[in-house]
Structure 1
C-alpha cells in the first residue's frame, strides 16, 4: 500500500469500525432522563415516584402519550412528555421495559 494512503485508510477504518464498537442504544439514551427521577434502571425506593422496573412497555407508552396529550394529569410528567415524539416514547419505553426482565 502507498505510504501516503495509510493515514486515509486509518481514518476510514476509524469512521466505520470504532463508532460501532461504542454504539449506544437510542432508547437507552432517552431513558436515562427517566432514571434521574425514577431511579437507575427504573428502580426506586421513593413512595412518591413510581418505579418503572417491571412496567410493561405498552403501559409506559400509553401513559407517556396521555401525559403528553393532556388526557392524564401529573405534577411534572406532562411537561416532560411534551418533548417526545411517538417514536421516542416507544424507544424509551421498550428500553425501560427490558430493564425489568
Structure 2
C-alpha cells in the first residue's frame, strides 16, 4: 500500500474518533437543556409561548429574571398565594426553576 494513503486514512480515523468523542461528551448537556426546554414549554399552556398570557393567568414577559426567580420561590415556600402555581413549582428544584426562567428570558 501507498504510505501516503495510509497516513491519510490514519488522519481520517483520528478525526472521526475525535468527532465521535466530542459528540458523546456533549450529549448529556444537550439532554439537560432539552429537559429544561420541555419543562419550560409546559408553562405555555397558561402563560403563553413567550410569557405573554392572553387569559386570566399573569403574563411575565416584561419581568426581569431575578424578579421571576423570586416570584417562583415565593410560590414554592407559600409566601405568595396561588391557585395552582404553588403546587407546580414544588415539583422542581431551585436550579431547575432558575434554568426555566433563563430559558424564557433568552427567548425575548
Q: Is 1:50 paired with 2:58?
A: yes
Change (3 A) 1:76 1:20: same
Which runs of 5 or more structure 1 residues have no equivalent in the other structure?
Answer: none
Structure with max Cα Rg: 2
Q: Is 1:34 paired with 2:43?
A: yes
What is the TM-score of this pair, normalised by structure 2? 0.66
Q: Is 1:97 paired with 2:105?
A: yes
Instruction: Give 1:78-97 correspondences, 5 Å limit.
Output: 78-97=86-105
**RMSD of aligned C-alpha atoms?**
3.0
Partner Cα distance (1:25, 1:98) in 2: 16
Task: Tell me if structure 2 keeps the 8 A contact 1:52–1:96.
Answer: no
Match of 2:85 among 59, 77, 84: 77
Which runs of 5 or more structure 2 residues have no equivalent in the other structure?
Answer: 1-8
Deviations 1:8-37 (A, max 9, x none): xx8x9567438959x366274231121121
Task: Tell me if structure 1 keeps the 8 A contact 2:36–2:96.
Answer: no
Q: Which has the higher helix share?
A: 2
Q: Which has the higher contact order (CA 8 A, sep 6+)?
A: 1
